[in-house]
């Protein structure tokens, strides 16, 4: 059996392109590709070799995409007023969000890991671009974008579970 690093190098582009065809969104495709390989690492012992490795990985990717669609549908069906401003560039003080909703959001942000929380704060309160955030943290612009997306998704999931 190949080691996971070799598998990643060999199949990353295939999985990414497959997901991009499904999502038509490069950031989401990147996120789901990373999650695919994470899941593959966890389940590598269950790979029986009945199919090609690329097929197995794309099946994991497809299931993650379906999960994302289901989650998105649930999120679309609930009131997201305290999350909507995460994507806007409006000044936090000028937003129509109540003080209580802001406090709840910041409480949820405290549950995030340190780096994700830092990215969220810089994006929301500092209104920094993903490129600027990446430069500050010595990471890439895409890393900052994906980290923000993960944090936002986690907050949405927490809200959904309330």
Q: What is the 3-state secondary structure (H, E, C) of 102-117?
A: HHHHHHHHCCCCHHHH
Which residues of the chain register pLDDT less than 50?
77-97
Looking at 23, 41, 76, which one is the last position of a domain? 76
Query: Are 119 and 51 in the same domain?
Result: no
Assign residue 94 the CATH number of its domain.
Answer: 1.10.10.10
pLDDT, position 111:
86
Query: Are 48 and 117 in the same domain?
Result: no
Assign residue 33 the CATH number of its domain.
Answer: 1.10.1740
Query: Are 101 and 50 in the same domain?
Result: no
Give pTM, 2 decimals: 0.46
**Owning domain of residue 125:** 81-160
pLDDT, position 34:
92
pLDDT, position 90:
41
d(CA 105, CA 107): 5
């Amino acid at each position: 059996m190949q080691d996971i690093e070799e598998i990643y190098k060999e199949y990353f582009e295939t999985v990414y392109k497959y997901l991009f065809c499904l999502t038509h969104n490069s950031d989401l495709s990147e996120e789901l590709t990373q999650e695919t390989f994470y899941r593959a690492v966890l389940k590598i012992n269950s790979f029986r070799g009945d199919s090609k490795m690329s097929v197995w990985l794309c099946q994991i990717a497809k299931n993650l995409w379906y999960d994302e669609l289901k989650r998105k549908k649930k999120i679309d069906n609930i009131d997201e007023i305290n999350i909507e401003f995460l994507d806007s560039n409006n000044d936090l003080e000028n937003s129509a969000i109540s003080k209580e909703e802001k406090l709840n959001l910041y409480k949820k942000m405290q549950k995030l890991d340190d780096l994700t929380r830092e990215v969220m704060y810089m994006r929301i309160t500092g209104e920094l671009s993903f490129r600027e955030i990446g430069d500050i943290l010595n990471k890439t612009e895409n890393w900052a974008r994906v980290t923000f997306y993960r944090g936002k998704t986690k907050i949405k999931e927490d809200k959904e579970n309330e």
